[in-house]
Amino acid sequence: MRKIAVSFTIFMLVIFLAACGSSGEGGGASESGEDSITLAVWGSSPAESEALEETVTSFEEAKGIDVQIEVIQDNFQDALTARFAADNAPDVFYLESYVAPSFIESGVLADISGDINNQEDFYQPQIDAFKDDEGNLFAVPKDYSTLAMYVNEDMLNEAGYSVEDVPNEWDELLQFSEELQSNLDDGQASMIFDSTMARHLSGLLASGLDPVTEDNQADFTSSNEANEYLQSIVDGQDAGYLKNPKIDLGIDSAGAAFGTNQAAIMIEGNWVISALNQNYSDVSYEVLSAPTINGEEQSISFNVGYAISKDTANKDASVEFVNYMTGEGLQQWSEISGTLPPRESVAEEMNLTENENIAPHVNAAEYATVWSSGVNLPTIATSFDNYFSAALNGDMTVEEAMQAAEDEANAEIERQQ
């Protein structure tokens, strides 16, 4: 049912946005004029909420433009789609790179290619995620996260190892994890993993498989190396040295498993640092780059940008706001929120690469695969997630699961056309 519900939601998103994009009516405009804009955001952590309020206040004082913040707590994409359908879109809104291709294709976003200052200062993969195939820009990244490898020093030391013993190559890391597992207590895991495609896209690419073809179809079957990569995860779980925190350990999050000394290694985003420092301050850990796969540096990047509604009546003020939040105000936002700035100059100003726990995440901004790949990625990822779980459960072989995922995704894509 989840699969059907997700696919239906994406289908309706495309239909609604396509209708909105072709309407040509100016319903997205704020009625309060050029001195006021509306900004739609989702509910965030207390630190991000504080950062947004303070940075927006700085913008208002500097530019004399009021910003009305609208916090959408649940189902942000659905609510935003409904706003476009009702000709009541906000002037500016958060946009995940994951769904950016659908919004760009639908024609509801303002083309801001010539409006954003100093675009070459952004980490290029982060800003490129918001461009169409012709290179036109439709949103600007406000922050990003990348995956890196977290190592629990206390657990390693108690098992007779050190951080220096942890390999940075995938196959060697699995061998080390198997060896480490035999020296851990019952209930502890060498390494925990997430089974979703969002965490493995870069691993699949490094194994010679792009799951999204040039014509936006699913491909999970054309690379034996990719199957071997996925099989290594299944084998690790079967042998007990790779564990899923929720399914195998009964813990809600990877960070909690790591922080309570139930996992020695995890590959996670920088969003866990705040929780580790605040809730598990006794745990001693180091952060390393995500392991190479087939000799390639790899990681996944998740980013969010500011987009402007095409039909806004306040484009000049909206552009000024986006330029401020991703330019003059970016350091203030990043320092208070604890997020990573997408501009290299700001990262340098904040000396982020001098922080040994942050540096692996910042360095990955240059090479990480952004979680975005065409309008059909949500459908393709849903099928992968469903069927890779079947392989992990032992209900199907990896080959059977990937064939089924490919067939299901392409059937759903055809149905939506």
Q: Please, are residues 13 and 96 in contact by the beta-carbon 8 Å criterion?
A: no
**Residue partners of 207: CB distance under 8 A and separation at least 6:** 223, 225, 226, 228, 229, 293, 294
- Residue labelled with tokens 């909690």: 256
- Residue labelled with tokens 């001098």: 354
What does residue 279 show for φ and ψ, rounded to 5 degrees? -100, -20
The DSSP secondary-structure symbol of 165 reads G
pLDDT digits (tens, 9 = 90+) for 280-315: 999 999 999 999 999 999 999 999 999 999 999 999
pLDDT given for residue 31 in this prediction: 42
pLDDT digits (tens, 9 = 90+) for 118-174: 999 999 999 999 999 999 999 999 999 999 999 999 999 999 999 999 999 999 999
pLDDT digits (tens, 9 = 90+) for 368-402: 999 999 999 999 999 999 999 999 999 999 999 99
Give the C-alpha separation, 232 to 172, whole Å: 11
pLDDT digits (tens, 9 = 90+) for 345-366: 999 999 999 999 999 999 999 9
- Residue labelled with tokens 């796969």: 293
**Where does the pLDDT of residue 14 fall: very low under 50, low under 70, confident under 90, or very high at 90 and above?**
very low
Q: Mean pLDDT score of the chain, rounded to an integer?
A: 92
**Where does the pLDDT of residue 8 fall: very low under 50, low under 70, confident under 90, or very high at 90 and above?**
very low
Beta bridge partners of 231: none
Give the C-alpha separation, 237 to 243, whole Å: 6
Rounded to two decimals, what is the model's pTM?
A: 0.88
**Where does the pLDDT of residue 44 fall: very low under 50, low under 70, confident under 90, or very high at 90 and above?**
confident
pLDDT beyond 70 at 2:
no
pLDDT given for residue 11 in this prediction: 42
pLDDT digits (tens, 9 = 90+) for 64-111: 999 999 999 889 988 999 999 999 999 999 999 999 999 999 999 999
Overall average pLDDT of the 208-224 stretch: 97
**Residue partners of 294: CB distance under 8 A and separation at least 6:** 170, 206, 207, 208, 225
Beta bridge partners of 150: 266, 287
Q: How far is CA 2 from CA 6, 73, 315, in A?
A: 6, 21, 38
pLDDT beyond 90 at 10:
no
- Residue labelled with tokens 């409006």: 115
pLDDT given for residue 35 in this prediction: 86
pLDDT beyond 80 at 1:
no
pLDDT digits (tens, 9 = 90+) for 49-58: 999 999 999 9
